[in-house]
C-alpha cells in the first residue's frame, strides 16, 4: 500500500504550488487542478474551494492577475497569470522550502551523536 500525503502537509504550500504552475504559463482553475494532480502523480487532488481561495489571496496580494479568455473554445474562462511580485514570492518560498526541507530531514531522520 502506497503512503498518502495528508492535506495538512500540503496546506502551507498551496500558494507556492499555484505560483510554480503559473510561472510556467497562464492558466485557469480546472487546468491548474489537473496539473496539480498530474505533478503529484495523483497523490494529491486539490478541491475547487481551496484553489479559488488561493487565487483570491494571491490576487489580493498582487502575486497574480486575472483576465477573461476568449469564448472561442466554449465558455468564457478566467485566466490567471503570475506578476513580477509573484515571481519574487515564488523564489522566496522556494528558498524557504529548501531550507525547511533540510531542517525537517535532520529532525526526523537525524541520529543523536553519542559524544554530545
Question: If pLDDT is split at 50, 70 and 90, which confidence band does 3 have?
Answer: confident
Task: Specify if 89 maps to a domain.
Answer: yes
pLDDT tens sequence across 105-115? 999 999 998 66
CATH number at residue 38: 1.10.10.10
E-strand spans in 34-102?
Answer: 64-68, 78-82
Do 80 and 55 touch, CB atoms closer than 8 A?
yes
51 and 78 Cβ atoms separated by less than 8 Å:
no
Cβ atoms 51, 33 nearer than 8 A? yes
- What is the band of 8 on the pLDDT scale with cuts at 50, 70, 90? confident
Cell of 47: 478541491
Q: Which domain holds residue 78?
A: 7-109
pTM over 0.85, yes/no: yes
pLDDT digits (tens, 9 = 90+) for 16-64: 999 999 999 999 999 999 999 999 999 999 999 999 999 999 999 999 9
C-alpha cell at 19: 505560483
Domain annotation covers residue 115: no
The structural domain count of the chain equals: 1
Amino acid at each position: 500500500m502506497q503512503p498518502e500525503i495528508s492535506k495538512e502537509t500540503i496546506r502551507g504550500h498551496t500558494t507556492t504550488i499555484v505560483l510554480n504552475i503559473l510561472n510556467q504559463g497562464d492558466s485557469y482553475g480546472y487546468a491548474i487542478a489537473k496539473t496539480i494532480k498530474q505533478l503529484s502523480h495523483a497523490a494529491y487532488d486539490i478541491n475547487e474551494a481551496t484553489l479559488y481561495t488561493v487565487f483570491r489571496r494571491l490576487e489580493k496580494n498582487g502575486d497574480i492577475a486575472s483576465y477573461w479568455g476568449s469564448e472561442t473554445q466554449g465558455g468564457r474562462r478566467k485566466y490567471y497569470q503570475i506578476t513580477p511580485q509573484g515571481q519574487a514570492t515564488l523564489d522566496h518560498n522556494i528558498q524557504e522550502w529548501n531550507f525547511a526541507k533540510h531542517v525537517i530531514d535532520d529532525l526526523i531522520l537525524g541520529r543523536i551523536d553519542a559524544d554530545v
